[in-house]
Structure 1
Amino acid sequence: MPSIVLSTIIVLLIFWVFFSSFVTVQQGTIAITTIFGKYSRIMRPGLNFKIPIIEKVFKRISIQNRSVELEFQAITIDQANVYFKAMLLYAVWNQEEETIKSVAFKFMDERSFMQALIRTIEGSIRGFVATKRQSEVLGLRREITENVKEQIDKTLEGWGYHLLDLQMNDITFDDAIMKSMAQVVASNNLKAAAENEGQALLITKTKAAEADGNAIKIAAEAERQAAQLRGQGVALFREEVAKGMTMAAKEMQQANLDTSVILFSMWTEAIKHFAENGRGNVIFLDGSSEGMDHTMQQMMGLNKLMEPQKK
């Protein structure tokens, strides 16, 4: 009976030694082994063999990207409190043995590493902000990020890590400063709106004045052309009347008739035209024989003045 129990124990021990000789390492992870507390080697993802009993897995290190959110405070050179919210993205520098050894043995545990990382970033940002004024900080978001990346990347490299990205998600100040900044922005917006409104009003008035000026010019040009055309019409009318009178006078002379009959006919036609086309206007004419004789003499004098032109 004791021999059976002993045999069972031996078989179980053999199975335990056999199965404990294999280690599975997950994808994206590297295992560190030690022998009697001293670094031995690294194991890649997959099934790995290790020396039973004496070789142990000391730590499993993820080589995937890691992220951490940071919140901290800094003070500017003019004693204004600035509150930062940032996101840090980092990863193991590479998968070489020396890099993995640095990651595994530089810090006692993951908590100590994170504490050192966060404090280093905070110190870098606080040192940069301490040389700037409150009014400059918001405009220096990119410069702050680049400065921190340059300093932290060198530090992380010594720890076996690499800084992939650092983003300043939010930069705020105390409530009193935020209100004063909002007031400044609002006043600047009002000033810009007033300037734009003034420029728009000036442009509108300028365009209206230009339009009025152009309208006046167009109206004046039209009036000038109309007056010119009216003058040309009157001149043509007079020319045609003179031609008609000349032809009538020649015909009457050839018929041995007195040319004054033409003037008398024009006189009667004019009176008839006034009567037919008058629109309520009253025209006083001297209808006496003396008045007609006086008018006829004037018209005959006009006819004599035109005779040299006929010749």
Structure 2
Amino acid sequence: MSFLGIIFVLIIIVVYLSVVIVQQGTVAVITVFGKYSRVMTPGLNFKIPFIEFIYRRISIQNRSAELAFQAITADQANVNFKAMLVYSVLNQSEEVIKNVAFKFIDEASFMQALIRTIEGSIRSFVATKRQSEILALRSEIIEHVKSQLDVLLESWGYHLTDLQLNDIAFDEVIMRSMAQVVASSNLKAAAENEGQALLITKTKAAQAEGNAIQISAEAEKTASQLRGQGVALFREEVAKGMAESAKVMNEANLDASLILFSIWTEAIKHFAENGKGNVIFLDGSTEGMEKTMKQLLAVETMNRGGDSSGIITPPPTPGRR
């Protein structure tokens, strides 16, 4: 091979070793004889062969990791956590990239430190709470971890973007006891609701019955008043009729006791026509007739206050049948 050929091959090798292509979403940290020199950004870059070296390529995209660990509450209950964290490089400034490149020996060491820090933060928080409180404190646990890790991660050149507690579970014995507590609470609430519904039903029924009794009593009261008024009007009309009849008979010089006899016979006729099968016993003897007429005359005398002689002539007694 000629000298020019050797020179051409060397030039190709130098050019090849000088060209550096950095992928989008990453940066390259360059060192010179093991000392930090500069940062290469995405795209086509050049370096001095055999003097500058790529120490590390760092991704500036979001990265995620899953965690699974156990913590103990203040009342000695085991809690199993499954979490997912999302983190990224804080920014692309030179100081931040230097921290990311040289703080830890490699990516695995950083991940171990990050996971153990998060686990320790959650365990310290859970240790101050009772197992009955843990399920309701999901958001508080996340805020507690972020508040403790933000400053520390910034010193490492990272930022905790998100932390999610996907699953919080207790030991099987505790889960069964919690299920029994929930079932008992539901049964208690159902019994209370049923009791309240029964009380409302009974109360409404009693109120309806009371209202019905009151309405019935008011109706009966009104009916009694109407019946009383009807009887009073009937008696008033009868009295007016008897008065008119007595006046006419007196003007005709007839004995007014005939009116009583007529009323008596009309009453017997009414009993016979409207009895509807009922049996009414009347004294049909002459003595019974005379006794009844005397009683009617006595009532008439009391109503009229008696005449001047105090004697009322009875009507002629009909013969016995």
Q: TM-score, normalised by structure 1?
A: 0.85
Q: Which residue of 1 aligns with 2:238?
A: 241
Deviations 1:115-143 (A, max 9, x none): 11111111112222233333443343333
The SS at the match of 1:71 is strand
Quickly say closer, same or farther: Cα 1:294–1:9, change in 2 above 3 A. farther
Q: Percent identity?
A: 70
Q: Which residue of 2 aligns with 1:218?
A: 215
Q: Which residue of 1 aligns with 2:312?
A: none
Letter in 2 for 1:107: F
The SS at the match of 2:281 is coil
Aligned-residue offset at 1:173: 2.0
Q: Which residue of 2 aligns with 1:195?
A: 192
Measure, in 1, the Cα distance between the counterparts of 2:11 and 2:259: 158
The SS at the match of 1:298 is helix
Quickly say closer, same or farther: Cα 1:287–1:12, change in 2 above 3 A. farther
Measure, in 2, the Cα distance between the counterparts of 1:267 and 1:235: 21
Letter in 1 for 2:45: F
* Structure-to-structure mapping, 1:118-137, within 5 angstroms: 118-137=115-134
Letter in 2 for 1:217: Q
* Structure-to-structure mapping, 1:74-113, within 5 angstroms: 74-113=71-110
Structure 2, unpaired ranges of 5+: 306-321
State which structure, 1 or 2, has the greater radius of gyration over its C-alpha atoms.
2
Quickly say closer, same or farther: Cα 1:89–1:243, change in 2 above 3 A. farther
**Greater Cα offset, 177-186 or 79-88:** 177-186
CA contact (8 A) 2:22 2:45 kept: no
Deviations 1:54-103 (A, max 9, x none): 44443333333222211001223343322111121222222322112212
Which residue of 51, 67, 80 corresponds with 2:47? 51
* Structure-to-structure mapping, 1:256-271, within 5 angstroms: 256-271=253-268
Quickly say closer, same or farther: Cα 1:23–1:275, change in 2 above 3 A. farther
Quickly say closer, same or farther: Cα 1:257–1:17, change in 2 above 3 A. farther
The SS at the match of 1:166 is strand
Measure, in 1, the Cα distance between the counterparts of 2:9 and 2:287: 166
Query: Aligned residue pairs: how many?
Result: 304
* Structure-to-structure mapping, 1:293-304, within 5 angstroms: 293-304=290-301
Measure, in 2, the Cα distance between the counterparts of 1:282 and 1:263: 24
CA contact (8 A) 2:74 2:126 kept: yes
Measure, in 2, the Cα distance between the counterparts of 1:306 and 1:258: 17
The SS at the match of 2:104 is coil
1:60 matched to 2:47? The reply is: no
Measure, in 1, the Cα distance between the counterparts of 2:272 and 2:182: 82
The SS at the match of 1:273 is helix
Measure, in 2, the Cα distance between the counterparts of 1:12 and 1:231: 140
Quickly say closer, same or farther: Cα 1:178–1:249, change in 2 above 3 A. same
Quickly say closer, same or farther: Cα 1:19–1:300, change in 2 above 3 A. farther
Deviations 1:234-259 (A, max 9, x none): 11211121122222222333333333
The SS at the match of 2:254 is coil
Letter in 2 for 1:233: G
Q: TM-score, normalised by structure 2?
A: 0.82
CA contact (8 A) 2:61 2:88 kept: yes
The SS at the match of 1:302 is helix
The SS at the match of 1:220 is helix
Which residue of 146, 151, 154 corresponds with 2:151? 154
The SS at the match of 1:187 is helix
Measure, in 2, the Cα distance between the counterparts of 1:232 and 1:253: 31
